[in-house]
Structure 1
Amino acid sequence: MNMHCVHRNYTISADVVEHPGIPTPWAGGCHITTPDGKTSKRIALPMQYAFLADLDNAQRASVAHGKWLVDQMLDKGRELH
Protein backbone atom coordinates (compact mmCIF):
# COMPACT_ATOMS: atom_id res chain seq x y z
CA MET A 1 0.00 0.00 0.00
CA ASN A 2 1.32 3.43 -0.95
CA MET A 3 0.62 6.05 1.73
CA HIS A 4 -0.60 9.42 0.47
CA CYS A 5 -2.50 12.51 1.59
CA VAL A 6 -3.81 15.83 0.32
CA HIS A 7 -2.22 18.87 1.95
CA ARG A 8 -3.19 22.39 0.89
CA ASN A 9 -4.64 21.01 -2.39
CA TYR A 10 -1.38 19.17 -3.23
CA THR A 11 -1.32 15.36 -3.26
CA ILE A 12 1.71 13.86 -1.55
CA SER A 13 2.50 10.20 -2.21
CA ALA A 14 5.19 8.24 -0.40
CA ASP A 15 7.69 6.54 -2.72
CA VAL A 16 9.75 4.25 -0.49
CA VAL A 17 12.45 2.04 -2.01
CA GLU A 18 13.69 -1.15 -0.34
CA HIS A 19 17.40 -1.90 -0.15
CA PRO A 20 17.50 -5.45 1.30
CA GLY A 21 20.41 -6.64 3.38
CA ILE A 22 21.11 -3.50 5.39
CA PRO A 23 19.82 -2.69 8.91
CA THR A 24 17.82 0.31 7.66
CA PRO A 25 16.54 -0.93 4.28
CA TRP A 26 13.78 1.61 3.57
CA ALA A 27 14.80 4.75 1.65
CA GLY A 28 12.14 7.42 2.04
CA GLY A 29 10.96 9.73 -0.68
CA CYS A 30 7.81 11.24 -2.14
CA HIS A 31 6.10 12.61 -5.23
CA ILE A 32 4.09 15.82 -5.04
CA THR A 33 1.22 16.45 -7.43
CA THR A 34 0.14 20.07 -7.88
CA PRO A 35 -3.51 21.12 -8.02
CA ASP A 36 -3.22 21.35 -11.82
CA GLY A 37 -2.05 17.72 -12.09
CA LYS A 38 1.73 18.06 -12.53
CA THR A 39 3.72 15.47 -10.58
CA SER A 40 7.28 16.00 -9.35
CA LYS A 41 10.10 13.57 -9.81
CA ARG A 42 10.87 11.47 -6.74
CA ILE A 43 12.09 13.73 -3.94
CA ALA A 44 14.26 11.79 -1.48
CA LEU A 45 14.37 12.50 2.22
CA PRO A 46 17.49 14.43 3.32
CA MET A 47 20.45 12.03 3.53
CA GLN A 48 20.68 12.03 7.35
CA TYR A 49 17.04 10.86 7.52
CA ALA A 50 16.77 8.92 4.24
CA PHE A 51 17.04 5.33 5.50
CA LEU A 52 14.68 3.83 8.05
CA ALA A 53 14.27 0.35 9.55
CA ASP A 54 10.48 0.17 9.27
CA LEU A 55 8.36 0.55 6.11
CA ASP A 56 5.46 2.28 7.89
CA ASN A 57 7.80 4.83 9.49
CA ALA A 58 9.51 5.43 6.15
CA GLN A 59 6.16 6.12 4.49
CA ARG A 60 5.04 8.45 7.30
CA ALA A 61 8.35 10.34 7.21
CA SER A 62 8.10 10.63 3.42
CA VAL A 63 4.59 12.11 3.54
CA ALA A 64 5.58 14.46 6.39
CA HIS A 65 8.57 15.67 4.36
CA GLY A 66 6.28 16.27 1.38
CA LYS A 67 3.95 18.37 3.54
CA TRP A 68 6.92 20.40 4.76
CA LEU A 69 8.10 20.93 1.17
CA VAL A 70 4.63 22.15 0.12
CA ASP A 71 4.56 24.54 3.08
CA GLN A 72 8.04 25.84 2.19
CA MET A 73 6.96 26.41 -1.40
CA LEU A 74 3.67 28.13 -0.59
CA ASP A 75 4.78 30.11 2.46
CA LYS A 76 8.39 30.94 1.62
CA GLY A 77 8.50 30.78 -2.18
CA ARG A 78 10.98 27.89 -2.32
CA GLU A 79 11.01 25.48 -5.25
CA LEU A 80 10.14 21.82 -4.82
CA HIS A 81 13.26 19.65 -4.77
Structure 2
Amino acid sequence: MSTLQCVHRNHVIVADVYEHPGIPTPWAAGCHITSPEGETTRRIALPVRYAFLSELDKAQHASIAHGKWLVDQYLDEGRELFQKSA
Protein backbone atom coordinates (compact mmCIF):
# COMPACT_ATOMS: atom_id res chain seq x y z
CA MET A 1 0.00 0.00 0.00
CA SER A 2 1.38 3.40 -0.91
CA THR A 3 1.42 6.12 1.72
CA LEU A 4 0.05 9.52 0.88
CA GLN A 5 2.13 12.48 2.06
CA CYS A 6 2.50 16.19 1.41
CA VAL A 7 4.43 19.26 2.52
CA HIS A 8 2.35 22.04 4.07
CA ARG A 9 3.99 25.21 5.37
CA ASN A 10 7.37 23.41 5.46
CA HIS A 11 5.97 20.53 7.57
CA VAL A 12 5.81 16.99 6.15
CA ILE A 13 2.46 15.30 6.73
CA VAL A 14 2.22 11.54 6.22
CA ALA A 15 -1.08 9.67 6.26
CA ASP A 16 -1.02 6.73 8.70
CA VAL A 17 -4.09 4.61 7.99
CA TYR A 18 -4.87 1.23 9.57
CA GLU A 19 -7.30 -1.39 8.30
CA HIS A 20 -9.76 -3.08 10.65
CA PRO A 21 -11.35 -5.80 8.48
CA GLY A 22 -14.86 -6.99 9.15
CA ILE A 23 -16.54 -3.66 9.91
CA PRO A 24 -18.43 -1.44 7.44
CA THR A 25 -15.93 1.41 7.82
CA PRO A 26 -12.61 -0.44 8.15
CA TRP A 27 -10.09 2.37 7.58
CA ALA A 28 -8.86 4.23 10.67
CA ALA A 29 -7.43 7.59 9.60
CA GLY A 30 -4.48 9.33 11.23
CA CYS A 31 -1.21 11.11 10.43
CA HIS A 32 2.33 11.90 11.51
CA ILE A 33 3.75 15.41 11.17
CA THR A 34 7.45 16.28 10.90
CA SER A 35 8.64 19.83 11.47
CA PRO A 36 11.42 21.52 9.45
CA GLU A 37 13.68 20.93 12.50
CA GLY A 38 13.07 17.17 12.35
CA GLU A 39 10.63 16.79 15.27
CA THR A 40 7.98 14.14 14.58
CA THR A 41 4.62 13.72 16.28
CA ARG A 42 3.17 10.48 17.49
CA ARG A 43 0.33 9.14 15.33
CA ILE A 44 -2.52 11.63 15.56
CA ALA A 45 -5.90 10.05 14.81
CA LEU A 46 -8.87 11.97 13.53
CA PRO A 47 -11.55 12.69 16.14
CA VAL A 48 -13.46 9.48 16.94
CA ARG A 49 -16.63 10.60 15.16
CA TYR A 50 -14.69 10.95 11.88
CA ALA A 51 -11.82 8.48 12.37
CA PHE A 52 -13.23 5.47 10.45
CA LEU A 53 -13.93 5.63 6.73
CA SER A 54 -15.16 3.12 4.15
CA GLU A 55 -12.41 3.60 1.54
CA LEU A 56 -8.62 3.76 1.78
CA ASP A 57 -8.20 6.81 -0.46
CA LYS A 58 -10.81 8.77 1.49
CA ALA A 59 -9.08 7.87 4.77
CA GLN A 60 -5.71 8.98 3.40
CA HIS A 61 -7.07 12.29 2.09
CA ALA A 62 -8.90 12.95 5.36
CA SER A 63 -5.67 12.22 7.25
CA ILE A 64 -3.72 14.73 5.15
CA ALA A 65 -6.45 17.37 5.52
CA HIS A 66 -6.47 16.89 9.30
CA GLY A 67 -2.66 17.18 9.36
CA LYS A 68 -2.81 20.45 7.43
CA TRP A 69 -5.38 21.80 9.88
CA LEU A 70 -3.17 20.77 12.83
CA VAL A 71 -0.13 22.52 11.30
CA ASP A 72 -2.21 25.66 10.77
CA GLN A 73 -3.39 25.53 14.40
CA TYR A 74 0.21 25.06 15.57
CA LEU A 75 1.63 27.94 13.53
CA ASP A 76 -1.28 30.40 13.70
CA GLU A 77 -2.93 29.68 17.05
CA GLY A 78 -0.03 28.38 19.13
CA ARG A 79 -1.59 24.95 19.68
CA GLU A 80 0.93 22.40 21.02
CA LEU A 81 1.78 19.78 18.41
CA PHE A 82 5.07 18.22 19.42
CA GLN A 83 5.50 16.57 22.81
CA LYS A 84 8.11 18.18 25.01
CA SER A 85 10.50 15.84 26.80
CA ALA A 86 10.47 15.94 30.58
Could you tell me which residue of structure 1 aligns to residue 80 of structure 2? Answer: 79
Runs (4+) of structure 1 exceeding 2 A deviation are: none
Structure 1 residue 80 displacement after superposition: 1.8
Structure 1 residue 35 displacement after superposition: 0.3
Q: Counterparts of 1:6-45 in structure 2 under 5 Å? A: 6-45=7-46
Q: What letter matches 2:31 in structure 1?
A: C
Greater Rg over alpha carbons, structure = 2
Q: Counterparts of 1:38-77 in structure 2 under 5 Å? A: 38-77=39-78
Structure 1 residue 38 displacement after superposition: 1.3
TM-score, L = length of structure 2: 0.92
Could you say what secondary structure the match of 1:63 adopts?
helix
Percent of residue pairs identical: 70
Number of matched pairs:
81
Structure 2 unmatched runs, 5+: none
Over the residues paired in the alignment, what is the CA RMSD in angstroms? 0.9
Residues 43-76 of structure 1 show CA distances to partners (whole Å, capped at 9, x for unaligned) of 0000010000000000000000000000000000
Could you say what secondary structure the match of 2:32 adopts?
strand
Q: What letter matches 1:58 in structure 2?
A: A
Structure 1 unmatched runs, 5+: none
Q: Distance in 2 between matches of 1:3 and 1:30?
A: 10
